[in-house]
Structure 1
Amino acid sequence: MQFLFLGDVVGDMGMQMVTQYLPQLKKEFKPQVTIVNGENATNQGRGITQARFKGLMKAGADVVTLGNHAWNNQEIFTFIDQTTNLLRPLNYPGEHVPGHGVCRLNVNGTPVAVINLQGRVFMEGTDDPFAAVDHLVEDLHAAGVRVIFVDFHAETTSEKKAMALFLTGRVSAIVGTHTHVQTNDSQILDHQTAFLTDAGMTGPAAGVIGMEYQPVIQKFLTARPHRFAVQTTGAGILSGCVLNVDAQTGRAKKIRTILIDAEHPYQNV
């Protein structure tokens, strides 16, 4: 079973890159499940709107995951409960959190689960992601679900690697998002679980992780707040990964990164 995952989609250019390249990538890799992190998809680079969610689905996403900017656009509260294919982090605190943290799919008779988690180190307070996913994975296994994909939206490499080791042999894949820079460490842990510290971002390549660079530099120079805006000019970048999972055992067999930018133009190979 093939999975295709795209890292954080940022702003208008991110949407353009998805619209342009996702159909081609799906034609090349023929994934059964396509997942896109859309938590920066608005033109302000924070949150998602219903139009942007529908745009990602129309381009070919089966599931859209979010992260720490899930609630930045108030419109989300009008539609997140109506779809099971838009995920906010599972471990948001509170008894009545809108939306869903896990999506269950049936892929040619094989049950598949996609989980969205958020880290706690250097990020807004959430419930313990380790405890939250531990209980959920136990329930999924009890229900006969072996193919499980986790988008772990977290800041530090240490927390992401710790989560990957915590889940090794229990999930098919764990891919990190949030830092917007693709890492060069795709691997299969213990011949069972695919892991990538960060999938990278999809959007403007010219700025600082998607934002115009001048205000970012000024903030570093002055240590004072500056208003950030999404970069709208220059080249684009698309980052992600594709991985193959044994549908019977849920074990990952292969993972490779995807990178499309000015230095790495798309070639259907």
Structure 2
Amino acid sequence: MKFLIVGDIIGRPGRRTLRKALDIYKADVVIVNVENSAGGFGITHKVYDELKSMGVDVMTSGNHIWDKKEGIALLERKDLLRPANYPEGAPGKGYGIFEKKGVKFAVINLMGRIFLDPHLENPFKVFDQLYQMLSLETPILIVDFHAEATSEKWAFGIYADGRASIVYGTHTHVPTYDQLILKHGTAYTSDVGMTGCWYSAIGMEPEDAIKRFLTGIPQKYKVEEKEDTVFNAILVEVNTNTGKAISIERIQHYFKRDELTQEG
């Protein structure tokens, strides 16, 4: 079974790019990180419906999933996940078991703690708990590890090697060229990267980010929408009997702005 995994979608340009890319790159299952999909912060009902209309099967997220109130309500949907290591009582779920073409697979969303929120539950230990439960249902376990520090991502990848089918990083919006299959059969990359305008400050208008770096004064960021875009993803094939990865391929496709549909 082939899984197309797409990094953080940044606003309207990211959604338009995703729609175009999904006409080109085909897979059995499409998993997308959507925490920046609505105006760069959170998700809305309209954006959720738009992504489903494109054929997105599972949506993962991270710390920005809380940025829009209606997005929090959407966490009641089975196919929209938030990090599983938020404390008990947080809305939504951080994992799910799904089925496509008669094959069951599990998706786990976790968030790192270094440079993010040290008060979260330990993602390594939460993975242990979820693995014990979910591996009884399917050998295919996919983990979106939403984290800042590459060291934490790598350590987690090795920790989950042989138990997870795929471990991939999100959050930094900067793709890493370290995709490989680890010793015990887990496909890994430190960060899938973003989908949105590439000539930007990780998807946002660069002027505000530069001003913040020059002055130290917080700025209100806006999604960059005037530039050409990039689609960042990985395509992973998994053995459905063993849950081991067969191959991992990095995709980085640039689009001219005028190539993209004006819908959405």
Which residue pairs with 1:139 in the alignment? 133
Looking at structure 2, the residues matched to 106 and 226 of structure 1 have their Cα atoms a distance apart, in angstroms, of 43
Looking at structure 1, the residues matched to 246 and 138 of structure 2 have their Cα atoms a distance apart, in angstroms, of 17
Looking at structure 1, the residues matched to 75 and 100 of structure 2 have their Cα atoms a distance apart, in angstroms, of 23
Q: Identify which of 55, 59, 62 aligns with 1:60.
A: 55
Conservation of the 8 A alpha-carbon contact between 1:206 and 1:233? no
Looking at structure 1, the residues matched to 210 and 71 of structure 2 have their Cα atoms a distance apart, in angstroms, of 31
Looking at structure 2, the residues matched to 218 and 79 of structure 1 have their Cα atoms a distance apart, in angstroms, of 34
User: How many Å apart are 1:191 and its aligned residue?
Assistant: 4.5
* Aligned-partner SS, 1:24: coil
User: How many Å apart are 1:79 and its aligned residue?
Assistant: 2.8
Amino acid aligned to 1:41:
S
Question: Using a 3 Å threshold, how does the CA distance of structure 1 residues 15 and 108 change in structure 2: closer, same or farther?
Answer: closer
Gaps in structure 2 of 5+ consecutive residues: 260-264
1:74 paired with 2:69, answer yes
Q: Identify which of 230, 235, 239 aligns with 2:232.
A: 239
Which residue pairs with 2:141 in the alignment? 148
Conservation of the 8 A alpha-carbon contact between 1:212 and 1:230? yes
Which residue pairs with 2:37 in the alignment? 41
Q: In terms of mean alpha carbon deviation, does 157-166 or 120-129 score higher?
A: 120-129
Q: Identify which of 228, 248, 253 aligns with 1:260.
A: 253
Conservation of the 8 A alpha-carbon contact between 2:176 and 2:191? yes
User: How many Å apart are 1:262 and its aligned residue?
Assistant: 5.3
User: How many Å apart are 1:96 and its aligned residue?
Assistant: 1.8
**Runs of at least 4 residues off by over 6 Å:** none
Looking at structure 1, the residues matched to 120 and 197 of structure 2 have their Cα atoms a distance apart, in angstroms, of 29
Looking at structure 2, the residues matched to 226 and 186 of structure 1 have their Cα atoms a distance apart, in angstroms, of 34
User: How many Å apart are 1:67 and its aligned residue?
Assistant: 0.5
TM-score, normalising length: structure 1: 0.92
Conservation of the 8 A alpha-carbon contact between 2:161 and 2:184? no
Conservation of the 8 A alpha-carbon contact between 2:65 and 2:72? no
Conservation of the 8 A alpha-carbon contact between 1:191 and 1:252? no
1:181 paired with 2:174, answer yes
* Aligned-partner SS, 1:115: strand
Which residue pairs with 1:17 in the alignment? 17
Conservation of the 8 A alpha-carbon contact between 1:17 and 1:237? yes
Task: Give the share of equivalent positions with the same residue, in percent.
Answer: 40
Which residue pairs with 2:189 in the alignment? 196
1:112 paired with 2:105, answer yes
Give the number of aligned pairs. 256
Gaps in structure 1 of 5+ consecutive residues: none
1:160 paired with 2:166, answer no
Q: Deviation per CA, 1:167-212, whole angstroms, max 9, x where unpaired?
A: 0000100010000011100000015000010000001111110111
Looking at structure 1, the residues matched to 74 and 211 of structure 2 have their Cα atoms a distance apart, in angstroms, of 37
Looking at structure 1, the residues matched to 100 and 12 of structure 2 have their Cα atoms a distance apart, in angstroms, of 31
What do you get for the CA RMSD once the two structures are aligned? 1.5
1:170 paired with 2:163, answer yes
* Aligned-partner SS, 2:134: helix
TM-score, normalising length: structure 2: 0.93
